[in-house]
Structure 1
Amino acid sequence: YVVQHRFRKDKDKWPLIQIGPGIITLNDTEGYVWEDFEKRIQHVLDVLFEAYPEADSNLRINWLLLRYIDSIDFDYEENDIFSFLRENLKINIKIYEKLFEETGVGKLPLGFDLRFSFPAKKPKGAIHLRFIQGKRKNVDVLIWETHVQSVGEDTPKSKDQISTWVTDAHTLTDDWFFKMIEGELLRRFE
């Protein structure tokens, strides 16, 4: 799938709608509020289904994805990412200590990309977590992504089913996000 057209209100402004053969995306970052984003999703669905005559039989939807990308400043040279993940995001990764003994290898990673996928029942499909070292405006950050994805037979086909899927996917990602950041990290976001 290749995005061929991008639509924004102004240059480099959000939201962004992208379309091409087999793909349509809605992206937002600045001033994200779920209720507004949900309305935009519904509008995109309305336009998409209106553009297809007999959409129920002519529009093939192979997969759906709702992805959230969050980040927080993190100094990788001064702080232990494994401690941060454990204490602030409830993710416990422990590397076997003996790997570092008498090997000349430092315990702080130069980079990392952790991914996990779990089956989901509502909506049917999978929820994915990803934690990766990155940069935002030339500052080191911890990026974490929460995705809900339905593929193939798990993918809803009608506009109403997709709307329900979107609500269920958001409910799941929202639940996981706030459970992970509960405590000190939540206070940093407030």
Structure 2
Amino acid sequence: MSKLPKAPLLEVIFEIKWDITSKTDIVDFQYLHGDLYSNLKSKYSHRENLLPPEVPLDIIKGSPVFRFREKQGSYPLVQVGPGLISLNTIDDKYFWNQFRDESNKILNILNDIYPKYSNFNLSPALTYLDFFNYDKSRETPLDFINSNFQLSLNDDFMKDTDSKMHDVNFTFNYEVEQKIVSLNLRNGKINNDKNGIVLQTKVIGKKEKYDAQKLKEWLESAHNLSSNMFKSLTAGKLYESFK
């Protein structure tokens, strides 16, 4: 997505997952973690262990175990776990070209230190999280969604009951260009005091074998798809408010 001056963006995540099917895969992860850090530490020198030592690795497949940052609390960051590697950043640090180039750099490193990954069926995903503030005391979540997004939702089935909408959580899944695009709208908070709607736009790739070049092409395509979806969903006064 383009860098809008008043973008509602919270976080961007590019992740790759693969199945862990044997003890050998767990052993491989130990080498992968060390080799990855060796290649990234010039930029991401701050290493965090997210897993208590008593928890065995084989029960947290697909979850991050180590996190690499430039310094404590900074972004972007790289996460790695058994069957997982991701690059995460936030709005202040997000520019698409930089994020793409950093992702491609990590893919090149992964190809050098762990070429075995291209033999696995991989699941790439690109996620954008956006936050839209609204006055919960003056309008319901549906009021806000219907007046700002290119969506039309109602709860007429509740009109004969003595009730007031508390929150929403809607997910729409579409198959586009051999990818699944998942749009989720739900109530959320940031900074513990701002009520609003969180939009998660997640593009999920087909589970199959990918080499580094194919993953780079997939990421570019997923970004274009996410960007177009966001522009279409927020078209009108809401999108104009981001400029």
TM over 0.5: yes
Runs of 4+ in 1 over 4 A off after TM superposition: none
Identity over the aligned pairs, expressed in percent? 23
Structure 1 residue matching 2:103: 3-state secondary structure: helix
Question: Residue 222 of structure 2 aligns to which amino acid in structure 1?
Answer: A
Shift of 1:77: 2.2
Structure 1 vs Structure 2 CA RMSD? 1.6
Shift of 1:100: 2.4
Q: How is 1:3-42 mapped onto 2 (pairs within 5 angstroms)? A: 3-29=64-90, 30-42=92-104
Q: In structure 2, do the counterparts of structure 1 residues 169 and 78 end up closer, same or farther at CA, with 3 Å as the change threshold? A: same
Shift of 1:150: 1.6
When normalised by structure 2's length, the TM-score is 0.70
Q: Does 1:147 align with 2:202?
A: yes
Q: In structure 2, do the counterparts of structure 1 residues 53 and 100 end up closer, same or farther at CA, with 3 Å as the change threshold? A: closer
Q: Report the equivalent of 1:120.
A: 176
Flag structure 2 segments of 5+ consecutive residues without an equivalent: 1-61
Q: In structure 2, do the counterparts of structure 1 residues 55 and 137 end up closer, same or farther at CA, with 3 Å as the change threshold? A: closer
Shift of 1:54: 5.6
Q: Does 1:93 align with 2:160?
A: no
Question: Residue 103 of structure 2 aligns to which amino acid in structure 1?
Answer: I
When normalised by structure 1's length, the TM-score is 0.88
Structure 1 residue matching 2:136: 3-state secondary structure: coil
Alpha-carbon deviations, 1:20-60, whole Å to 9, x = none?
11000100002311111101110110111111246544xx2
Q: How is 1:72-111 mapped onto 2 (pairs within 5 angstroms)? A: 72-96=132-156, 99-101=158-160, 103-106=161-164, 109-111=165-167
Equivalent-residue separation in structure 2 for 1:146 and 1:129 (angstroms): 5
Q: Report the equivalent of 1:166.
A: 219
Q: In structure 2, do the counterparts of structure 1 residues 94 and 119 end up closer, same or farther at CA, with 3 Å as the change threshold? A: same
Question: Residue 49 of structure 1 aligns to which amino acid in structure 2?
Answer: N
- Indicate if the aligned counterparts of 1:156 and 1:165 stay in contact, CA closer than 8 A: no
Question: Residue 4 of structure 1 aligns to which amino acid in structure 2?
Answer: V
Q: In structure 2, do the counterparts of structure 1 residues 7 and 92 end up closer, same or farther at CA, with 3 Å as the change threshold? A: same
Flag structure 1 segments of 5+ consecutive residues without an equivalent: none
Alpha-carbon deviations, 1:57-96, whole Å to 9, x = none?
4xx2420100000002122221132232122111111112
Equivalent-residue separation in structure 2 for 1:81 and 1:22 (angstroms): 37
Q: In structure 2, do the counterparts of structure 1 residues 156 and 188 end up closer, same or farther at CA, with 3 Å as the change threshold? A: farther
Q: How many residues end up aligned between the 2 structures? A: 180
